[in-house]
Structure 1
Amino acid sequence: MRADARRNVESIRQAALTVFRENGLTSPLDDVARLAGKAKGTIYHRFGGRAGLIDAVVEELVAERVDGIITSVSALDMGAVDRLEEYLRRVWLLQFEEPAANDVFLRVEPDSPVLIALCDRARTFAIDLLDQAQAAGGIRPEVTAQDLYALIWERGVIAREATCTRQDYLRRCDWVLAGLRTCR
């Protein structure tokens, strides 16, 4: 690739990072092109369209954050129930604060192999935490992996439409978490 083509690609990538961070993965590509100072056609030429552009930036945009949550929750010295709750709380907060991360969990680009792999990593980790928490007797036995996915999806929809404060959002997340616990 010529030097000018590499500069075009990088300016589009940087613009996509900015636009997607602020407004999510469904942001108009016109906004990315405008910020990059390039024609929209250049995005299609260099990235093949929205999916290719997302794949080119998702690692820096979201994957590092999700993988960081997985790593940090894995290292926590606490019981299985508390680890599951902490993981969900951090994912839900990420959804609230980062429109692009929320779009990843809502799978707005369902055919992206990069996003599918990221969601699969998060899903596998959550299922392991759920299994451990249920084995410890602290989470209702009828809660399934599909239920966790539904809760993450529901929180994502709520985060997308949220008109509440961060504090109110987290308070409501805690109510959902309390509902997962076994009654003792």
Structure 2
Amino acid sequence: MTADPETTLRADARRNRDQILAAAKSIFAASGPEAPMEEIARAAGVGVGTLYRRFPDRDALIRAVAMDNFERVLIDARTIAAEETSPWRALERLLRHSVALQLSVQLAMVSHRALVILKNDPEVRRLRDEILVVLDGFVDGAKAEGKLREDVGAGDIAILLATLLRQMRAKAPEVAEMAARRCVGIMIDGLSVRPGSALPGRPITSRDLDPD
């Protein structure tokens, strides 16, 4: 029995799409959303024409990457919230499990072009806002536990992640990953309650991240 040509075509198209998204995620995380489309096609093992058939322009690819990432992060965040009884442990776990969160935060806050795309897309914005709601819950609960310092907000944490988790150049990928994990560990240590210097200004909230 031979495979249905239409089914095979759909499977090939889905595989190509998944390969392009995986390559775009990796390259966007390392180089930002302005990375050459040719480089993404090459990393995905497809031709440039195939890439543009799946995603007609860079904005469509950025949106697809953001949608996929935000959906995965939201699922992870809600799973963590359901499994952890301590909001501080939930926050710490989410921050340590930040490979997907890394790119989502960067797309939402670092790239101006991506920021415009995400801001104007209601579905992407909905997913981003739902993630921030979960993060707000972790932050408020961790403060109530007495584990998170009072002078930080969810916005502070998102900004720290955007700054710390930008992949750096290293001789080997494992060195870059180790460095990112070390930065997250240092960040978590600095977020915990302990005597220390007071931060200037006020806590930055998730509402402060809205670009309106």
TM over 0.5: yes
In 2, the alpha carbon distance for the partners of 1:118 and 1:48 equals 23
Other-structure match for 1:51: 59
Other-structure match for 1:71: 78
3-state SS, counterpart of residue 182 of structure 1? coil
Deviation of 1:136 (Å): 1.7
In 1, the alpha carbon distance for the partners of 2:155 and 2:76 equals 20
* 1:92-103 matched pairs, under 5 angstroms: 93-94=99-100, 100-101=103-104, 103=106
Change (3 A) 1:84 1:38: closer
Unaligned runs of at least 5 residues, structure 2: 1-5, 196-212
1:119-155: CA deviations, max 9, x gaps?
3222221111101111222111111222112111112
3-state SS, counterpart of residue 27 of structure 1? coil
Please state which structure has a larger fraction of its residues in helix: 1
In 2, the alpha carbon distance for the partners of 1:78 and 1:95 equals 22
1:18-64: CA deviations, max 9, x gaps?
42143224432224556433538x82x7644111133345444x234
Other-structure match for 2:200: none
Aligned residues: CA RMSD: 3.3
Other-structure match for 2:194: 183
In 2, the alpha carbon distance for the partners of 1:73 and 1:58 equals 21
1:44-98: CA deviations, max 9, x gaps?
x7644111133345444x234312321221122331211111111112x4456xx
Partner residue of 1:170 out of 169, 172, 181: 181
On the 8 A contact 2:105/2:158 being kept in 1, the answer is: no
TM-score (norm 2): 0.63
* 1:15-164 matched pairs, under 5 angstroms: 15-24=19-28, 25-32=33-40, 35-39=45-49, 43=52, 47-56=55-64, 58-60=66-68, 62-91=69-98, 93-94=99-100, 100-101=103-104, 103-104=106-107, 106-108=109-111, 109-110=114-115, 111-112=117-118, 113=121, 114-157=123-166, 160-161=167-168, 163=170, 164=175
Unaligned runs of at least 5 residues, structure 1: none
Q: Please identify runs of 4+ aligned residues in structure 1 that moved more than 6 A.
A: 6-9
Paired residue total = 171
In 1, the alpha carbon distance for the partners of 2:184 and 2:41 equals 37
On the 8 A contact 2:91/2:135 being kept in 1, the answer is: yes
On the 8 A contact 1:13/1:53 being kept in 2, the answer is: no
On the 8 A contact 1:134/1:141 being kept in 2, the answer is: yes
Change (3 A) 1:104 1:115: farther
Deviation of 1:174 (Å): 1.8
- The structure showing larger relative contact order (alpha-carbon pairs under 8 Å, at least 6 residues apart) is 1
3-state SS, counterpart of residue 141 of structure 1? coil
